[in-house]
Structure formats: C-alpha cells, structure tokens
Structure 1
C-alpha cells in the first residue's frame, strides 16, 4: 500500500509539472499550422458549464492567428472545458471561376491595337 501511494504521488507530480508544457506545445502546434495554411478556421466549443465570456464566442469562426487563447483571462470557471475545433479550408474544392470567352476560344486581345482618334490612324498610315 505504501508503494502504491508513492507511485500515485509520483504520477501526480509529473502530471502537474508537465501541464504547462502541454499548453505551450499546443500553441506552438497551432502557430505552425497557421504558417502552413493561414486561412484555416478555428471555432471554440465549450462545455455546458462554461463561463459567459466564452459562451458568447462559441461557434464563431476565427483564423488560426486571430483565435483567442483558452482559457480566457476573464474565465470564471473552475476548470475550463473549452477547446478548439478545427475546420478545413473551404477553398479546397475545384476553382469554379469561368474564363472569359476570349480566353476559352484563344482569340487575341484586340484592345491595345489602335485608338479611335484621327491622329492614331494617321500615325499607322505613315509608319505602314
């Protein structure tokens, strides 16, 4: 029984000591993903017993760089149960923009050839 108590205290001490490091690693991982894909979205999901500040932000999407750190400084909950929910980039599908008719038919762009003024036509007649 004495050994079980020592093992339990050792595990509890390690968990307490490593707890701040896990948050730092999570933030570092989120920042690394932000550098790779800056348009990924994150929303905040909260437990039923979350504080009122976080309940107002629940479901709202943020870019990875703009998401608030959790727990919030104003958090009134004893143990914060809020978490990040990652969303895929919505632009990942096929680009649906249509090309202009000239680009589709490979016709040349005629806009820059000559102007409509009489002087523009006279310069072409002299040089041609």
Structure 2
C-alpha cells in the first residue's frame, strides 16, 4: 500500500510540475505579446462639450501614448478640465494594406510587353513542335 501511495504522490507531483511549466510558458508568451502591443499603444483626447481651443484643435489626433500631451492641455482655460484619454492598441486608424485587400492594384492597365528575348525557363521558350 505504501508503494501505491508513493506512486500516486509521484504521479501527482509530475502532473503538477508539468502544469506549472506549461503555465509559465503561456505567461511568458502573453507577456511578450503585451510588450509588443504596448510599443504602439496610442491615445487620443476626448473633450467635453465646453472644450477649449487646444482640445478642439487636437480632436481625432492619435498620439503614441508616451508622446501624448499631458492633461489639462497647455493653454486650457477651463475652470475644470473634462478632457480624457481614449486608448487604442495602435496609432493607425486603418490598415495600411487596404489597397491590397481590395485588389485595387489589379485594376491597373497592363503594359505592353517590352522584353525582346524569351526567358530562361523551358516554359518561356517556344516549343519546337509548334514551329512545324
């Protein structure tokens, strides 16, 4: 019976060790992804109804979080500033590759072939059979 208890305890220990190691691996990966995401963390300034001129000027502008101006904005003359930061994962509004996703590049006119010689591949050369 002592052997059964020993092997049961050993199996439980191995299982717990495997779970701990697996959990650490996930945590490291999540931390790496979080750090990468924070590199381009951005903010914009959302102002209230009585926004100062500085807040109105910056409406819709995204800043990298570490480059954003502090609140209240310099030049704010409100008795109590109601501006807040709105957070984003990325500074960009749209995916830069939208033109490729919409296949706009395929709509370009096809230019006239300017090469005079055939390519080096067998498929680029005219077949001898076709010439006869």
Note whether the superposition's TM-score is higher than 0.5: no
Q: TM-score range by the shorter chain?
A: 0.3 to 0.5
Q: TM-score, normalised by structure 1?
A: 0.41
Q: TM-score, normalised by structure 2?
A: 0.40
